[in-house]
Structure 1
Amino acid sequence: MFIYFILDRKNIRLRYQFLLTFLSSWFVIGNIMAIFLSSVGPVYFNHFYEQDYYLPLMQRLNALNTELNGGFMHLWSLDVQQILWKTYVADASHIGSGISAMPSMHVTISVLMAMASFRLNKNLGYVLWIFAFCIQIGSVHLGWHYAVDGYVGALSVAILWHFIGYLLRKHLVSI
């Protein structure tokens, strides 16, 4: 979607709205809000708190992974979660290596793609809204996020999308 809007020259206002919202999302939602709303997802909860409310979830995911390993697949998200934890413990800082859960940038960007694609083609938009819904559900069920993390990301990007759209309509009348 990002590459499409970099190359697309047909709908300049929509192009600018997507690209500006995308970049603003990473700065405002993925950095500023993530700092102020910093939290750890369910997968890391037991590393910070005595109570482990999410132990049954993680046990179920590990059991599922064991079942899948008998076949041709495995639950790769568990591997990624371990890599991120090891990076955090080693106090190494790399792009994309954080363990903060709030807000969910996965949901944020998938909702942005759904909003933009809906303006391009309603059928594609419906497909990407379903995709965004699946990302929200999957991020919770795989232990990455609490449900509210996705809701905050979705609401925040919707606000940015409409605000940037308003600014473009108001100030870029020649487009």
Structure 2
Amino acid sequence: MRGDAGLYLLVVAYTALGLLALSATGRGESAAYGVYVAKWFTLFGFLFPVLNLLLVYAIVIHRVDRRRTLALRLAFSTERLACLVAGVALLLSMMLFQGTYTSLKNALPHWQGGFPHDRLQADIDRWLHFGVDPWIWLYRIGEHDLVRLVLEWNYNVLWFALCFGALFYVATSPRTRRMRTRYLVCFMLVWVVCGNLLAGLFLSAGPAFYGAVTGDEGRFAAQLAFLAHGAQSTNSAVTYQTYLWSLHQYGTAGFGSGISAFPSVHVALAALNALFLWDHSSRLGLAAFAYVAVIVASSVYLAWHYAIDGYASIAIVAVIYFGVKHIEAWATGERQAHSFLSATSSTR
């Protein structure tokens, strides 16, 4: 856990600055810390750790015919369990991080006096896509209830499993030691830079709420009418959008509350995982980037985002990824140089 001191410091600093901003602007009611406790603890304190241990046990039993006891000892060695405990402890502390993120996101419309950039961003989207709103291109080839159901499941279920499963794996596995800190720093920066800073500077609500924030109900009316077909389905986008808007209208904090479209955190986290996978394997990286493309298309298809939200996210994440990688390489070189000089001076 000592090795994670810097990461804990980032969580504490972000939380302290967030609380200070909320207090200084009189937005204490935007705080959303309590809504994450039960779900976050269930996910990272129980479900993922239990699934991890069961998976390791199953792999040993399935693949090892002889000396299973020794294999199990290695699989559940002190080192592995220490990594698991340290990772789980860090992830549980990130309840504060996630609560701060949502609290600040809730406050953004109040600080900005609404959502001032939707019309401009939608117009840029149309200009980039040859004078046609990009959702129209997508619906020309995929306006079907089955497509909608698949994309809703992917966007609301599979994305969460992949992104937060990756977070758990990197935080708790001894195999990820060399890139663990870099990944976790990048993960936090994605939420802060994309989800708070840039979202606040270029605040928009997205196509689902375009009519409510601009008064132009017609631009996305046909898209929203189609999505309303799935209002009763389990992973309905329109149902969750209605939930978010009701929380916004009543000024209530809730799980996942807060509305902002630009840039897309959904796309950003998928892109972050793709970049790290590319470092490990070009084949896995290509598959991951294909998934990023699906997420970008899904975000537009389901009226969560303008296409430029996803495009911008990919560019921003690339800057974060290569920036942190460069800083880490520089810091490693500095430490090695210092160690070399210390060793040289001690031999004189």
TM-score (structure 2 length as normaliser): 0.46
Measured in 2, the distance between the counterparts of 1:61 and 1:25 equals 29
Relative distance call for 1:6 and 1:74 in structure 2 (3 A) is closer
Counterpart position of 1:112: 272
Tell me the secondary structure at the aligned position of residue 174 of structure 2: coil
Give the structure 2 partner of residue 9 of structure 1: 174
Out of 200, 213, 227, the residue aligned to residue 48 of structure 1 is 213
- Once the two structures are TM-superposed, the CA of residue 11 in structure 1 deviates from its matched residue by 4.9
CA distance in 2 between partners of 1:62 and 1:26 (Å): 29
Partner residue of 2:6?
A: none
Deviation at 1:19, TM superposition (A): 1.2
Mapping for residues 89-128 of structure 1, pairs under 5 Å: 89-94=249-254, 96-128=256-288
1:23-64 deviation per Cα after TM superposition (whole angstroms, max 9, x unaligned): 11111221111111111100001111222211111112224x
Unaligned runs of 5+ in 1: none
Q: How does 1:11-90 map to 2 (within 5 A)?
A: 11-52=176-217, 53-63=219-229, 65=230, 73=233, 76-90=236-250
Q: Secondary structure at the match of 2:288?
A: helix
Could you say what secondary structure the match of 1:59 adopts? helix
CA contact (8 A) 1:111 1:157 kept: yes
- Which structure has greater helix proportion? 2
- 1:110 deviates by 0.4
- Find runs of 4+ consecutive structure 1 residues off by over 3 angstroms: 8-13
Distance 1:95 1:153, change over 3 A: farther
The letter for the 2-side match of 1:60 is: F
> 2-side partners of 1:15 and 1:98: how far apart?
29
**Structure 1 contact 34–103 (Cα < 8 Å) conserved:** yes
Distance 2:265 2:176 in 1: 26
Name the aligned partner's letter for residue 29 of structure 1: C
Letter in 2 for 1:36: L
CA distance in 2, matches of 1:62, 1:8: 42
Greater shift in the superposed pair: 90-99 or 41-50: 90-99
- After superposition, give the CA deviation of every residue in 1:115-140 in whole Å (9 maximum; x if it has no partner): 11121233322222111111100000
- Of structures 1 and 2, the one scoring higher in RCO (CA 8 A, sep 6+) is 1
TM-score between both structures, scaled by the size of structure 1? 0.88
Of stretches 22-31 and 155-164 in structure 1, the one that deviates more from structure 2 is 22-31
Q: In structure 2, what is the Cα distance between the partners aligned to 1:162 and 1:2?
A: 19
Deviation at 1:4?
1.6
Give, as a single letter, the amino acid of the residue that structure 1 aligns with 2:228.
N
Give the conservation status (yes or no) of the 8 Å contact 2:170–2:176.
Answer: no
Aligned counterpart, 2:326: 166
Conservation of the 8 A alpha-carbon contact between 2:227 and 2:237:
no
Between the aligned partners of 2:260 and 2:189, the Cα distance in structure 1 is 19
Q: Which amino acid aligns with 1:80?
A: Y
Equivalent pairs counted in the alignment come to: 169
Q: 1:146 corresponds to which residue?
A: 306
Single out whichever of 160-169 and 147-156 deviates more from structure 2.
147-156
The answer as to whether partners of 1:13 and 1:168 remain within 8 angstroms in 2 is no
Query: Does the CA-based 8 Å contact 2:223-2:303 persist in structure 1?
Result: yes
Alignment partners' CA distance in 2, 1:134 and 1:95: 25
